[in-house]
Amino acid sequence: MNFIVAVDRDWNIGKDGALLQPISDDLKQFKAKTLNRVVVLGRKTLQTFPGGKPLAGRTNIILTRQKDFSAEDAIICHSFPELFKLLASYRDDDIFIIGGGEIYIKLIPFCKIGYVTKIHKSYPADTSIINLDKKNNWKLIREDGPHHFKEDIYYSYLEYHNSQVLPMP
């Protein structure tokens, strides 16, 4: 399993349900990495997508506690045990965790690779993930950048590998 995320220099990922700084090239990279793959996300993250609709060209698995929630062209899971059982039917390398904050916190330990777009700036935020640079089991193995987006905004693509992947229960 993998995860893909954009963070600021403080490992923040969002504010008020939105990305901190959408970057067009990063969104293109996100699409390229996740197209024809499985994406796992929370209901609140789904609601931030255009029209609140699942991402086209991907198997969307939505995790929600709302028993009556439904979404066209998506698979709904209501618990982590249900999610883990479902994910066992997919190739591990094809699974991408894409948010939001609660989903990342719970599932990052089960991920082998983290694709992180690091924005070299701090933003006001209300949602963050763990700082992989402070975790001994996560090693930065590739860095591409910095790239210039606009004005004073620079970003890098980072790839981290987890040496202690938790097995799915």
pLDDT at 133: 97
pLDDT tens by residue, 109-159: 999 999 999 999 999 999 999 999 999 999 999 999 999 999 999 999 999
Give me the domains of the chain, ranges plus CATH numbers.
Answer: 2-162 (3.40.430.10)
pLDDT tens by residue, 37-56: 999 999 999 999 989 999 99
- Express as a percent the part of the chain with pLDDT over 70: 100
Going by C-alpha positions, the residue among 95, 130, 90, 84 that lies closest to residue 109 is: 130
Tell me, what DSSP letter sits at residue 68?
A: T
Look up the pTM and report it: 0.95
Q: What is the mean pLDDT of the chain?
A: 96
User: In the chain, what is the greatest distance between 2 CA atoms, to the nearest angstrom?
Assistant: 46
Question: Binning pLDDT at 50, 70 and 90, where does residue 169 land?
Answer: confident
